Structure 1
Amino acid sequence: MNQAAEFCEAVTTVFEEHRNEENRIPMENYMKNHYPFFGIKAPERKQILAPLLKKYKDITEEERLEAAVLLFEKPERECHYAALAFLEKGIKKAPERSIDTYKQLLMTKPWWDTVDMIASTLCGGYFFRYEDKLRPFTEEWRESDHLWVRRSSVLHQLKYKAKTDALLLFETIDSLKHEKEFFIEKAIGWALREYSKTDARAVIDYLEREDVRPLSRREGLKWLKSKHPELLEG
């Protein structure tokens, strides 16, 4: 058994030991019953995982990717969260081929809770490391037939602040702004809201100039309305 399989087995074993039926049902209900849970809430899950993340900190990056894929094959959602936490530990050393695994995981048992972390933290960190790949992958993914891959394309730069490629961000929003899909509309609003904290004028000008879905507009202006309403006057 290699280290990837060992890590996967260790995670599932310790999670099974901490199964909590009282928590399980409300956690599954919150996620619309898409996936089963062990019933381990985030603070406890992080505490349980910490020793394992430390024990396997020197795993090869190839085995780290393999472990994540193995964990996503498990039914319980906490295993998927553990996979993403493990991948995050290696984000600064992620090999070039990591993006293929990230995309695979985006499309494996997808829902917003895993997709958003993969998009903004893993893909975002990857494109920070491999800057020349940000535009081609974002352009490709925004044209995908897969909803969650398209959502990811909007969120790649969510944490980039002043390093955001604004032209690429607005081009990506342009390509998706008329789509009548809740998770796309919300992603656009979220991306605009975050970027408004860096360049309020660029976001205001964009929304004055372009026709976006009402939900995207409301979400995009939410922070400005709360913190800088004077910028929206007139």
Structure 2
Amino acid sequence: MQASRDLVDAVRTGLAERADPVKAPEMRAYMKSEMDFLGVQKPARRELTREIFRAHPLPDRESFTDSVLTLWRDAKYREERYVALDLTGDRAYAHWLDSESLELYDELIVTGAWWDYVDEIAVRRIGPILRAEPDVLKPRLRDWAADADRWRRRTAVICQIGSKEATDTSLLSKTIELNVADKDFFLRKGIVTTHPGLSGLSQREALKHL
């Protein structure tokens, strides 16, 4: 679809123009990334995406999803995937931040398989969908919390960061309970420190399985 192709081409061209061969290896080493970097830091990327997203509006969910997946699946550089995530968070497409996009985010979580991608998706995409559509999301997140894929599990645990008093403590407790024995899982006993808005009672409820 033309709108998707135009946006993707503009992103690739824009990133290439802003590439910094000095910064690129430093960024790759910091992220311990198997994928190469171009060396485009976040401020420059943000400026670029604001310009491109306004110049190449996507008319429907299909072209939006196609753009995200093309940038993600065909990425040669990590910044292309960062732009894919930026696109999913653009205010112009906030009305598509819903459970219909859950399979899209699931693919990004599983194939991204690293904290810089997964934490952004968990907190800023899955979390808002959970708050808006709890009946749809809670069963899926319970499944993810027990999934063989560690990144689905991580998403299930941390997606309520920022929910404050809207946190579903029952769901949070369940996801913690299922993962507390995972030695590689970074939350464990410190989980509620990422939920500073929880009351003492809510914290005790969330931690009762630890």
**Same fold at TM > 0.5:** yes
Q: Does 1:110 align with 2:113?
A: yes
| Partner of residue 178 from structure 1, selected from 168, 176, 181 | 181
Q: 8 Å contact 1:91–1:125 — kept in the other structure?
A: no
Aligned pair in 2 of structure 1 residues 30, 15: CA closer, same or farther (>3 Å)?
Answer: same
How far off is 1:10 after superposition?
A: 1.1
State the percentage of identical aligned residues: 24
Quick one: distance in 2 between partners of 1:146 and 1:102?
Answer: 14
Q: Tell me the secondary structure at the aligned position of residue 49 of structure 1.
A: helix
Q: Unaligned regions of 5+ residues in structure 1, if any?
A: 212-234
Partner of 1:232: none
Three-state SS of the structure 2 residue aligned to 1:21 is: coil
Match for 2:44: what amino acid? E
2-structure distance, mates of 1:47, 1:190: 35
- Aligned-pair CA distance for 1:201: 4.0
The Cα of 1:194 is off from its aligned counterpart by: 2.5
- Distance between the aligned counterparts of 2:140 and 2:205, measured in 1? 26
The equivalent of 1:166 in structure 2 is 169
User: Which has the higher relative contact order, 1 or 2, with Cα contacts under 8 A spaced 6 or more apart?
Assistant: 2
SS at match of 1:108: helix
Amino acid in structure 2 at the alignment position of 1:8: V
Report the counterpart of residue 153 of structure 1 in structure 2.
156
For residue 107 of structure 1, give the secondary structure of its aligned residue in structure 2.
helix
Corresponding residue pairs, total: 207
Give the deviation of 1:27 after TM superposition. Answer: 0.3
- The yes-or-no answer on 1:129 pairing with 2:135 is no
Kept in 2, the 8 Å contact 1:154–1:169? The answer is yes
The answer on whether the counterparts of 2:19 and 2:38 sit within 8 Å (CA) in structure 1 is yes
Deviates more, 1:120-129 or 1:81-90: 120-129
Instruction: Tell me which moved more, 151-160 or 53-62.
Output: 53-62
Gaps of 5+ in 2: none
Aligned to 1:4: 4
Counterpart-to-counterpart distance in 2, 1:171 and 1:53: 39
Quick check: 2:6–2:56 contact (8 Å CA) kept in 1?
A: no
Summarize deviations over 1:66-119 as a string: whole Å, max 9, x none.
111111121211111111111112233335320000000111232100010011
Equivalent residue, structure 2, for 1:62: 62
Shift of 1:21: 0.3
1:162/1:87 CA distance change after superposition, 3 Å: same
The SS at the match of 2:37 is coil
Is the contact between residue 61 and residue 94 of structure 1 (CA under 8 Å) also seen in structure 2?
Answer: no
Report the counterpart of residue 85 of structure 2 in structure 1. Answer: 84
The structural deviation recorded for 1:37 is 0.6
